[in-house]
Amino acid sequence: MKSLPVVLLSILSTACAVHATSAQPQDAVTVNAPSINPESLKNLAPFPKAQAGFQRYVIHVPATGNDDNYQVELIAGKTAKVDCNIHRLNGNIAEKDLSGWGYTYYEFTTQGQMSSTMMACPHQAETEKFVTGATKLVRYNSRLPVVVFVPNGYELKYRLWKAQEIVAAPVN
């Protein structure tokens, strides 16, 4: 029996490095991808500015030729001093509709609580780690920016995912 590849998506960027840029001041956007579709920049105008207590993150993904083969994983979290346990930030990334435009933006909400495993740590040493909440896979569209609102004190990171080539059906 021949084995088939199980993995359907592969990570384009191996690290969760910060690629999204916080808008400072609130209506400024820092572009970070080398081949931005100009339509994505133009289509940023209808999106709302950050409300008090939030930062607006804008991700402009490069044109790929076939956006259907890609997805963007949004990763919201916070750098915190933690022990050897596995920590998780309680929070949610919600999809919001930009009324009248048919566009979508996202909002991360959290009360700031973290949960963790309860293993006994041998040295009680704390290290700084990026503690994340729930992630969200969103549609890849190089013609529109991905706009995410995150509470002050939290960060947004992202990963790009690409589907593998279509796998042929197994031969009996």
Q: What is the pLDDT of residue 51?
A: 93
Level-2 CATH architecture, domain 18-163 = Sandwich (2.60)
Q: What is the pLDDT of residue 35?
A: 64
Q: Which burial class, exposed, middle or buried, applies to 97 when counting CB atoms under 10 A from its CB (0-12, 13-18, 19+)?
A: exposed
Greatest pairwise CA separation for the chain in angstroms: 61
Instruction: Count Cα neighbours of 21 within 13 Å in the Cβ-side half-sphere.
Output: 14
Q: By the 8 A CB rule, do 89 and 99 touch?
A: no
- Per-10-residue mean pLDDT of the chain, 172 residues long, equals 36 35 36 65 89 94 90 95 93 93 94 91 87 93 94 95 81 74
Q: What is the pLDDT of residue 164?
A: 82
Q: What is the pLDDT of residue 170?
A: 78
Q: What is the pLDDT of residue 134?
A: 87
Q: What is the pLDDT of residue 60?
A: 92
Q: What is the pLDDT of residue 34?
A: 52
Q: What is the pLDDT of residue 149?
A: 96
Q: What is the pLDDT of residue 86?
A: 92
